[in-house]
Structure 1
Amino acid sequence: MYVAVKGGERAIDNAHAWLADERRGDRDVAELSVAQIREQLSLAVNRVMAEGSLYDPDLAALAIKQSRGDLIEAIFLIRAYRTTLPRFGASKPIETGEMACDRRISATFKDAPGGQVLGPTFDYTHRLLDFKLAADGEVPEAAEGTPQGGDVPHITGYLNREGLIQDEPESDETPPDLTREPMELPAGRPLRLQSLTRGDEGFVLGMAYSTQRGYARNHAFVGELRIGAVAVEMDIPELGFAIEIGEITVTECETVNQFKGSKTEPPQFTRGYGLVFGQTERKAISMALVDRALRWKELGEDDQGAPAQDEEFVLMHSDNIQATGFLEHIKLPHYVDFQSELELVRKLRREVEAARSSVLSDGLAPDEAAE
């Protein structure tokens, strides 16, 4: 905390009070409740949960309210709170093949096994402002759709029956935890996926878009995008078996990408993968595209020098909390640093002026002296 400025603590207290007043806004307008944010700004809540690495819609909504809608600040609040929570165990891997899908689409098969479920999406809206919402009019309730549940196999599994898509190796090894250990490079795919899940949506989207424009030469199809609820199970040693401890909503995306083959692998499709808390499909698709771009080395492909293929560039710059902290610290007092820079510039200017005066005293024009 910088308190070197005269009256610093009092100024900071006043800034906090002013912030609280600005957060509340016009007292004639009803105050937003956490429940309203959670229910009506759910996509913002989902982003905060995903990039904050904590699945709790109520806390995410509270963070959005506290941050005045600044989602990166809200993510910061959630991550900070997360560090105070005790860790009492680990859940089993979720089974997305048993997801109760609110939305399940494929861009690769018209008649997808199990059917296409459009679900709640902006994809088919006209992107025109709805002024009925400004009039606070009641929106007619939509007919409730029944989530597609039970055994909902992944569409890429049907490609795998013909050996047309690369097998993903399974491992019982516990992956490293990015929230508990600093990331080291080179990073394995599990660590890369964790980093992309927590990464800034805009940054990951930009990297994904670059792959579509030709950087990394890696055209992809959305094999499947699914959104829905999955059970979270945990092994209880005293019982000797796993029990369901809750349910979360996630978005999962698998992309299908061309692969020309290598010395050891025949031509086939490969996958990109994305999994994110909540309904966060733009992030999940972006994540899958960048995941596939980062796999160039393990697949024996050529390095095209594309930004999305550069592991260090992508992973070390995608975290918006680290980026924000480093960027915003420069607005805090740096008086000593600046004074040294200021004195250096003044010294250089004096030396230049002295050299110019010396040239003029010798009766030479500055251009002649330069020659």
Structure 2
Amino acid sequence: MYVAVKGGEKAIANAHALLAKEGRGDPGIPAIGRDAVAGQLPVLVSRVMTEGSLYDPKLAARAILQCQGDVLEAITLVRSYRTTLPRFGYSEPIDTAGLAPQRRVSATFKDIPGGQQLGATFDYTHRLFADPTGDGPTDTGADAVPMPRVSDLLGSDALLEPDRAADWTDPEPADLTREPTVFPMTRAERLQGLARGDEGFLLALGYSTQRGYGSTHPFAGEIRVGEVEVEFDAPELGFPVPLGRIEVTECQMINQFTGNADTPAQFTRGYGLVFGRGERKAMSMSLVDRALRADEFQERIVAPAQDEEFVLSHADNVQAAGFVEHLKLPHYVDFQAELHLIRRLRRDFHDNAGSKRETNA
């Protein structure tokens, strides 16, 4: 039970003032600007946009500054602001097949059409502090050449499950931001939930699948980072209109599957797609996506990462943070009721214990 708390307005105002003072830091040092955060902390900004479900680098940067770097609080701010925006409709599905990557790597083949493109990555850097003012050479990537997906190369030999069945239709996916969650979910709905899910939670679940808590043996088929065009189908026009370009990270994870009575041995897919630069999140998402497809492949569901309700109900960090942090709020009446109950139970326990001693005597 929640009870209204009266008074304390002055204390709350003072707490806000102190928070602003501590967040400002040394006034002799120039304040960090929104553009600096958006330009120099792109990975952090990408996470806030992805889990906040709103693509706006400058807005995400503003939220990070307002929350003094508290990522979950920034995500909550972005989600809250998102609910105030008018909804004009839905954009067309983005075409990641035509994505011109700034970075494109595959762990399955050394030589792939179009070549490996390292781009900007921490993968080959020493985990040591470096001089932040040093400007080293940059990898601008290869010239624009066709870069078919690795999954398409395997699919041509029927070694990888098709991305859609022969009788597959394209149903309109539900919108988790506007409709209540109902289990079981479609894969499209699950991918929405995973995209909005907490990176750390999905990372832990993805790691668990690699340690044996799930029937997966993954290979990073392909990871791409680049810009794609977003189009909006305006009903009054009758054709899609380009709205602009956004940066995304896509991961195609390839997993072993030994087959069953209906399906021969083949590789299967896990998929992840996030805003901006977010390889770890996209990879974790694709690992969990494949684990949640256990029922499709008649695999035993024995691990947390394979339990749809467990994963999707606990992945949302805004909901999780709210439920945990509400414990800081006043619960005076609740606690007094519990305290009274404990005292009564202890009194009854001691009375019963005394009666037993008298009976035994």
TM-score range, shorter chain: over 0.9
What pairs with 1:279-298 in structure 2 (closer than 5 Å)? 279-298=277-296
Closer, same or farther: CA 151–235 of 1 in aligned 2, 3 Å: farther
Partner residue, 1:198 = 196
Partner residue, 1:273 = 271
- The equivalent position to 2:338 in structure 1, one of 316, 336, 341, is 341
Closer, same or farther: CA 267–357 of 1 in aligned 2, 3 Å: closer
Distance in structure 1 (CA, Å) of the matches to 2:235 and 2:201: 41
Q: Deviations over 1:25-61 (max 9, x none)?
A: 1211211100111111111100000000000000000
Closer, same or farther: CA 356–2 of 1 in aligned 2, 3 Å: closer
Shift of residue 235, structure 1, vs aligned partner: 2.1
Shift of residue 243, structure 1, vs aligned partner: 2.5
Closer, same or farther: CA 4–240 of 1 in aligned 2, 3 Å: closer
Q: Deviations over 1:199-224 (max 9, x none)?
A: 00000000000000011131110100
What pairs with 1:78-117 in structure 2 (closer than 5 Å)? 78-117=78-117
Closer, same or farther: CA 352–144 of 1 in aligned 2, 3 Å: closer
Give the gaps of 5 or more residues in structure 2.
none
Shift of residue 150, structure 1, vs aligned partner: 6.6
Distance in structure 1 (CA, Å) of the matches to 2:145 and 2:174: 31
Q: Bigger CA drift: 218-227 or 9-18?
A: 9-18
Q: Deviations over 1:308-355 (max 9, x none)?
A: 111111110000001011111111001111001100111122223333
What pairs with 1:239-318 in structure 2 (closer than 5 Å)? 239-303=237-301, 305-318=302-315
Partner residue, 1:324 = 321
Distance in structure 1 (CA, Å) of the matches to 2:225 and 2:49: 15
Q: Bigger CA drift: 271-280 or 87-96?
A: 87-96
Partner residue, 1:140 = 135
Residues 101 and 149 in structure 1, CA contact (< 8 A), matched pair in contact too: no
Residue 4 (structure 1) aligned with residue 5 (structure 2): yes
Distance in structure 1 (CA, Å) of the matches to 2:265 and 2:183: 30
Give the secondary structure class of the aligned counterpart of 1:298: helix
- The equivalent position to 2:156 in structure 1, one of 161, 174, 191, is 161
Distance in structure 2 (CA, Å) of the matches to 1:185 and 1:237: 32
Partner residue, 1:188 = 186
Distance in structure 2 (CA, Å) of the matches to 1:316 and 1:237: 35
Residues 3 and 9 in structure 1, CA contact (< 8 A), matched pair in contact too: no
Partner residue, 1:19 = 19
Residues 271 and 292 in structure 1, CA contact (< 8 A), matched pair in contact too: yes
Shift of residue 3, structure 1, vs aligned partner: 5.5
Per the normalisation by structure 1, the TM-score is 0.92
Q: Deviations over 1:56-113 (max 9, x none)?
A: 0000000000000000000000000000000112211111111120110000000011
Residues 99 and 149 in structure 1, CA contact (< 8 A), matched pair in contact too: no
Q: Bigger CA drift: 345-354 or 220-229?
A: 345-354
Closer, same or farther: CA 314–9 of 1 in aligned 2, 3 Å: same
Q: Bigger CA drift: 162-171 or 88-97?
A: 162-171
**Percent of paired sites with the same residue:** 55
Distance in structure 2 (CA, Å) of the matches to 1:78 and 1:15: 23
Q: Bigger CA drift: 236-245 or 342-351?
A: 236-245
Equivalent pairs counted in the alignment come to: 357
CA radius of gyration, larger in: 1
Residues 225 and 277 in structure 2, CA contact (< 8 A), matched pair in contact too: yes
Residues 100 and 147 in structure 1, CA contact (< 8 A), matched pair in contact too: no
Distance in structure 1 (CA, Å) of the matches to 2:106 and 2:235: 40
Distance in structure 1 (CA, Å) of the matches to 2:37 and 2:26: 18
Residue 125 (structure 1) aligned with residue 125 (structure 2): yes
Distance in structure 1 (CA, Å) of the matches to 2:142 and 2:71: 29
Closer, same or farther: CA 314–329 of 1 in aligned 2, 3 Å: same
Shift of residue 148, structure 1, vs aligned partner: 5.8
Partner residue, 1:75 = 75
Shift of residue 230, structure 1, vs aligned partner: 0.5
